[in-house]
Amino acid sequence: MPFQLRQRQTLQWILMLLAAFTLSACGFHLRGPANLPFKTIYLGFSGNSPLGTELKRYIRASGVEVLDSPTDAEAVLQVLADTRERKILTLNTDGRVREYSLYQRFSFQVKNNKGAIIIAPASIVLKRDITYDENQELAKQAEEVLLYRDMQSDLVQQILRRLSARKTNVDETVQE
């Protein structure tokens, strides 16, 4: 093997190792559990709410205890609104629906067990667009269910980020 070819291969290996080292040193890491500023929380969801069940699972994974009574909890999440909506986005030339917009609106606030507001009322609105074809009705219904499930997971992550963004101590809140 000629010397120049071997030197070129060695240089390529060094450059690849340097690129791999640079990428590994960029600070990227997987998201861990949420760092919530309280030890116990009460969630004001109904018992059969899929959103409440998923949020409860993620909160428990972060080391916070989810209680069944709001009087014993350091924080109380109150659900103000949780609605789903489907609106027509576009029509074809025959006046038939071609696309829908799916919305999920969620409003909540967090108080301590004495009634002081920890997180002021906040709203989260999620939107997804879906095409529609009357010849594929069952497939489009299944796709809609999947999109709502995806929006629910996104909503849970946004709620967790808002809960963990509250860095001050729960006892320092102002009574309103």
If you average pLDDT over residues 41-57, what whole number do you get?
91
Q: Which pLDDT score, from 0 to 100, does residue 175 have?
A: 44
For 81, the 3-state DSSP assignment is strand
% of the chain exceeding 70 in pLDDT? 87
Task: Check: pTM over 0.85? Answer yes or no.
Answer: no
As a CATH number, domain 34-169 is: 3.30.160.150
Measured between alpha carbons, how far is 130 from 166 in angstroms, rounded to an integer? 35
The two tokens of residue 97 are 């629906």
C-alpha span between 151 and 156 (Å, rounded):
9
What is the band of 32 on the pLDDT scale with cuts at 50, 70, 90?
low
Given this model, what pLDDT does residue 5 score? 76
The interaxial angle of helices 50-61 and 137-165, nearest 10 deg, is 40
pLDDT digits (tens, 9 = 90+) for 83-137: 999 999 999 999 999 999 999 999 999 998 888 999 999 999 999 999 999 899 9
